[in-house]
Amino acid sequence: MPEKSLYASITGTTTPISVDVMESYTDISSSCNISCVDTTLGIGDDISVDLGYDDDHEVIFTGIVKQVDQDAQTGLIELTCYSTLIKAVDFFIAAEDFDNPFTRTNIDATELVEDLLALAGITSFSGTLSNFIFTEPTFNLVSVADAINQINAVIAWHIWDDATGTVYFEDRRPYVMGGETPSFTFTTGDSGNILTTKYERSESELRNKVVVYGLNPIVATASSASPYLPAGFYKTAVVASPLIASQEQAQLSANYNLELYNRLTTSVDAEVLGDPSLHVNDIVSIVESHTGVTGNWLLFKVSHAWGEDGYSTRMVLKQ
C-alpha cells in the first residue's frame, strides 16, 4: 500500500507537529492536545481541527483553547483544548437570590437539559423527548454538567457533543442497542484493517438490583436474577435524587437503570490506520472467526494520534 500524505488544518495555527484527540463515553467533553510551531490562538478562543490525509480528511474536533504553553528548549507551542460541553462543566449555577434558584415546572427531561445548556451558552442542541416529566426540578450551587448528570442518573440517558460542536441528549446506552446498524466494517487478521489487542468479558460493572430513593418517603426497587452471578445473589446500584417526586417516577427510574446495569461488560481494544470519521457512539462491525469479537460493537473510547510517525486510531469497543 503506498504511503499516504498527512493533512492537518488548524484554526490560527501553522506547522502542526502532533495532534492527539481523545473521546470517551464516560467523559462529558472530549479533549485535543496540539503541538505546533506557531499560533495566533489564545486562551478562550474557538478552535477547529481538520485532520487526516491529503485525499481523505475532515473536521475531527471543535472546541475551546483552555491552556497555552511554550517549551523553552524546543520553542514549540502546546495547546490544550476541550470540546463544547466544557462550557457546561465550567458554568456554575449560583442564584443571586438564594430563595429563587433555577426551577422549572412539569418539564420533559430533554427540555430541561436544553434549558440548562442554554445557561452555559450552548444552543446547538439535538434531542428527542424522553416522556419523563419532572414535576419541579430545582438546581443551585452545582455546575450545569453536574445538574445534567443528576438527570442522566434518574432516566439512564446520555449526553455528548460531536465534532461540529452540536450537543446530543438521547437514550444512548454504552453498548449496541436493538436495530442499530454499523457505519464501519473492520476485518482482523493478516489481510484485514484492524489489530485486536485485548478481548475482555467481566461482570465487574453488572448490577442486578437497583434501589431508587426520591423525596422522602419514596422508594422503589427493580431486580432480576443474573446467570453470571451465584443463584440468589444480587449486586445493588443506588439512585438517590430529590428530582424524583412520585412513586411512579421512582419505579421508572429503577426499571431504566436495571436495564442499563444488568449485563456483562464485553470490550475489545483495537487499533486501525488513522480515520478521522471514527467517533465515540459510532457502531462498527468486526469480522473475526477466532477471538470471538465478531459482530456489531459500540465505540466506547477513541483516541486519534497524528504526527511525524503517521496517523493511527485506537479504540475501545463494547457490546
Does 67 reside within a domain? Answer: yes
Number of domains observed in the structure of the chain: 3
List the domain range (segments joined by +) for residue 236. 209-261
> What CATH number did the domain enclosing 126 receive?
3.55.50.10
Does 271 reside within a domain? Answer: no
Residue 292 has pLDDT above 70, yes or no: no
Task: Specify the pLDDT at position 105.
Answer: 98
pLDDT level of residue 5 (50, 70, 90 thresholds): very high
pLDDT level of residue 318 (50, 70, 90 thresholds): very high
Does 218 reside within a domain? Answer: yes
Task: Specify the pLDDT at position 4.
Answer: 84
Task: Specify the pLDDT at position 281.
Answer: 97
Mean pLDDT confidence for 230-250: 98
Mean pLDDT confidence for 232-255: 98
Task: Tell me the pLDDT of the chain averaged across its residues.
Answer: 94
Task: Specify the pLDDT at position 192.
Answer: 63
pLDDT tens-digit map of 194-237: 777 788 999 999 999 999 999 999 999 999 999 999 999 999 99
Mean pLDDT confidence for 100-122: 98
Question: 223 and 154 in one domain?
Answer: no
Question: 24 and 52 in one domain?
Answer: yes
Question: 101 and 162 in one domain?
Answer: yes
Domain boundary among 170, 196, 230: 170
pLDDT tens-digit map of 13-57: 999 999 999 999 999 999 999 999 999 999 999 999 999 999 999
pLDDT tens-digit map of 134-167: 999 999 999 999 999 999 999 999 999 999 999 9
- One DSSP character per residue, the chain reads -PPPPEEEEETTEEEEEEEEEEEETT-SS-EEEEEEEEE---TT-EEEEEEEETTEEEEEEEEEEEEEEE-TTT--EEEEEEETTHHHHH-EE--SSTTS-EE-SSEEHHHHHHHHHHHTT---EEE-----EESS-EE-SEEHHHHHHHHHHHH--EEEE-TTS-EEEE---SSPPTT---SEEEEBSTTSSEEEEEEEEE-TT--SEEEEE-STT-EEEEE---TTS-TT---EEEEE-TT--SHHHHHHHHHHHHHHHSS-EEEEEEEEE--TT--TT-EEEEE-SSSS--EEEEEEEEEEEEETTEEEEEEEEE-
Question: 92 and 162 in one domain?
Answer: yes
| pTM given for the model | 0.94
Q: What percent of the chain has pLDDT over 90?
A: 86
Task: Specify the pLDDT at position 189.
Answer: 63
